[in-house]
Structure 1
Amino acid sequence: MLQEFIQAVHAALGPNVDWKQVVLTGMAPVFLIVFAVEWQLLRQRAAGGAAARPLPRWRDVATNLGLGASYQVAEFAVHALVSGAVILWIYEHRLFDVPVNAWTIVPIFVAVEFCYYWFHRASHRIRWFWSAHVVHHSEEQMNFTTALRQSMLYSITGWWLFFMPLVWLGVPPGVVFFLYACDLAYQYFVHTEVIGRLPRWYEYVFDTPSNHRAHHGRNPQYIDRNYGGVLIIFDRWFGTYVEEDEPVDYGIPRQVRSNNIWTLNVHEFADMWRDVARPGPLLQRLRHLWAPPEWQRPDDVSASGLSLPQS
């Protein structure tokens, strides 16, 4: 049924539909209604004297909405101009034709989630990808609109490349990116503090608000943990899982205190290229592109008297 629906939309709109953005745009009213409910719950808890985080700052909420809108426009544009054509070309050279039916849809979704895990992990441990993903982590509060805090640079840095193995194997691109959109839509609902711990079996298998709050923490034990989107099992298998066991300090280690959408989008990308441009051996200059975000050149470490971070 899913494949027939996707084929019908392609027949109406052409082969180059950006399914991820179509689904997320369609979900926008639901996202806003859910945030309104969250806001009311937070107000009621505060009025009742319950211990709670401060209410979301409206300036930050407006920034999140602006970042979400600019992300949508950029994703549509890059897909129309570049990535959509590349994805179709890869699919035309696929190795197999993977059927999409009731028996295969769950394994395909798990494969999409597996690709997302490695994209998300790379977005924290490779500076090139972190230069886009840093936007999402730059808010110092957690509410549903934090999920909308996305970067205009994602398509430029190449998030979609992580899903190309599935397309090359023969999963139709529309199916891959429709399921990825469902993955991202689920993730909207884990960006909140109004939901506590869920049943232990659910916390063990799935990403939850508790698991994802830890992911957004800059507390030392929380940094670079819990990369899963819908599932948390890959974090458990690959040693990147951490449980939320103390209050989360949200934000990034080098916090950018700005509500300017352009500044939030490009600050780390510009810093990365400034580091590349600094004089020094070419290999060390280029390493700023693929090393972890905290990596420093040996000469910089020696001059500062610090120990060299592990990479």
Structure 2
Amino acid sequence: MIPVDMIQAMLEDSGLISLWQALPPWLALDERQLIFVIATPIFIAVALWEYLRIRHDNRLMNVPEAMRNFALGAGYQTTELLLAGLIAFPAYALCYHYRLLDLELNWATGFLTFLGVDFCFYWMHRASHRIRWFWAAHVVHHSSERMNFSTAMRQNATNIFNGMWIFYLPLALIGLNPVWIGVAYALSLVYQFFVHTTLVGRLPVLVELVFNTPSHHRVHHGRNPEYIDRNYGGTLILWDRLFGTFTPELDSTPAEYGITRQVHSRNLIVLWTHEYVDMFRDMAHPGSLLSRLQHLWKPPEWQRPAPKTNPKDTGQHHDRTPTDAEHT
């Protein structure tokens, strides 16, 4: 545990203390949260426009679910606002205190911050699908069987506790100001809101080549075998092309949205926690401590190998069934 006075000294030395001056950190509205506050009326307006276009098609729009999606998003924003300053901010302050470079904000470093955040987002997002601990929080975003703007708001209130923010810490250690990192991350999420729709077809070739688009993101939300775990990009799709995780949307294969073992609960708590419950239930099955702990970092669909049995024993020893973690 880092002493409070040491954190205070690091914040002052790093020039980050202004983030906590107006209010206690758990109440302060930093630049990142301010961007979300400003963007929210735009999100609502665009979602209403989309609703008017697709409201008669239950395959695309379900009003109770859309309202539930916004409630899930509100829960996410609440925990971020109340707890990010207590949980994540000290870690960023520590990394920035020991930064390798002193970088001034200009067009070059601003662009590098954007690229760095997008690069880190790719790996964070990829880990959110391939490491079960992170998937336990991310699964709620994929559990809707519809793709519309409200789906973008379908987030997990436990995100701040899962530690997915650690993927961006190297940027602060390099010397990028955490405030810039937060702003770039917020703008990336604002951009990503607009790729959650079926109303926008393919965009011009150069746009589809460089940027994450609605077409690319429909693939990402698909539970079709050929679409699972593809197109992790945030703003850019270049990282998927570079690291071999890109798949184009196929006219012959419309995306089927949701997860492979669907959760139909309307309870927000269940939607936020069902994968944690499944994961810890799997960990509770008999076995060595290491084999149990592997459920935390193995892929969501991973199952422990069945224990070796006596050839004369024909009984069933391993009754684990696939969980909702077999996913998109």
Contact 1:132–1:153 under 8 Å retained in 2: yes
Q: Choose which of 274, 280, 298 in structure 2 pairs with 1:273.
A: 280
Contact 1:112–1:179 under 8 Å retained in 2: yes
State the alpha-carbon separation in 1 of the partners of residues 270 and 52 from structure 2.
Answer: 31
TM-score normalized with structure 1 length? 0.88
Matched, 1:109 2:121: no
- 1:68-100 Cα shifts (integer Å, max 9, x gaps): 000011112221322222222221121211221
Q: Where does residue 230 of structure 1 map in the other structure?
A: 235
Q: Where does residue 283 of structure 1 map in the other structure?
A: 290
State the alpha-carbon separation in 2 of the partners of residues 276 and 177 from structure 1.
Answer: 35
What's the offset of the Cα at 1:216? 0.1
Q: What amino acid is the match of 2:49?
A: V
State the alpha-carbon separation in 1 of the partners of residues 133 and 89 from structure 2.
Answer: 21
Matched, 1:145 2:150: yes
Q: Choose which of 260, 270, 273 in structure 2 pairs with 1:263.
A: 270
Q: Where does residue 211 of structure 2 map in the other structure?
A: 206
State the identity %: 47
Contact 2:60–2:147 under 8 Å retained in 1: no
Contact 2:282–2:320 under 8 Å retained in 1: no
Q: Where does residue 34 of structure 2 map in the other structure?
A: 22
Q: What amino acid is the match of 1:146?
A: T
Q: Where does residue 244 of structure 1 map in the other structure?
A: 249
Q: Secondary structure at the match of 1:104?
A: helix
Find the structure with the greater CA-based Rg: 2
Residues 206 and 256 from structure 1, CA distance in 2 versus in 1: closer, same or farther, beyond 3 angstroms?
A: same
State the number of aligned residues. Answer: 294
The 5-angstrom pairing of residues 43-82 of structure 1 reads 43=55, 54-82=59-87
Q: Where does residue 36 of structure 1 map in the other structure?
A: 48
Q: Where does residue 161 of structure 2 map in the other structure?
A: 156
Residues 305 and 179 from structure 1, CA distance in 2 versus in 1: closer, same or farther, beyond 3 angstroms?
A: closer
Residues 197 and 9 from structure 1, CA distance in 2 versus in 1: closer, same or farther, beyond 3 angstroms?
A: farther
Q: Secondary structure at the match of 1:255?
A: coil
Contact 1:78–1:155 under 8 Å retained in 2: yes
Contact 2:141–2:155 under 8 Å retained in 1: yes
What's the offset of the Cα at 1:21? 2.8
Q: Where does residue 173 of structure 1 map in the other structure?
A: 178
Matched, 1:94 2:106: no
| Consecutive aligned runs of 4 or more in structure 1 exceeding 6 Å deviation | 6-9
Q: What amino acid is the match of 2:33?
A: Q
State the alpha-carbon separation in 1 of the partners of residues 16 and 170 from structure 2.
Answer: 21
State the alpha-carbon separation in 2 of the partners of residues 71 and 271 from structure 1.
Answer: 21
- 1:258-278 Cα shifts (integer Å, max 9, x gaps): 121100001101211121122
What's the offset of the Cα at 1:132? 0.3
Matched, 1:293 2:287: no
Greater helix fraction, Structure 1 or Structure 2: 1
Q: Secondary structure at the match of 1:267?
A: helix
What's the offset of the Cα at 1:102? 1.4
Residues 12 and 242 from structure 1, CA distance in 2 versus in 1: closer, same or farther, beyond 3 angstroms?
A: same
Q: What amino acid is the match of 1:128?
A: W
State the alpha-carbon separation in 1 of the partners of residues 220 and 249 from structure 2.
Answer: 9
State the alpha-carbon separation in 2 of the partners of residues 248 and 302 from structure 1.
Answer: 37
Q: Where does residue 13 of structure 1 map in the other structure?
A: 22
- The alignment yields a C-alpha RMSD, in angstroms, of 2.4
Q: Where does residue 11 of structure 2 map in the other structure?
A: none
What's the offset of the Cα at 1:53? 6.8
Contact 2:60–2:148 under 8 Å retained in 1: no
Residues 258 and 164 from structure 1, CA distance in 2 versus in 1: closer, same or farther, beyond 3 angstroms?
A: same
Q: Where does residue 6 of structure 2 map in the other structure?
A: none
What's the offset of the Cα at 1:66? 0.6
Residues 11 and 21 from structure 1, CA distance in 2 versus in 1: closer, same or farther, beyond 3 angstroms?
A: closer
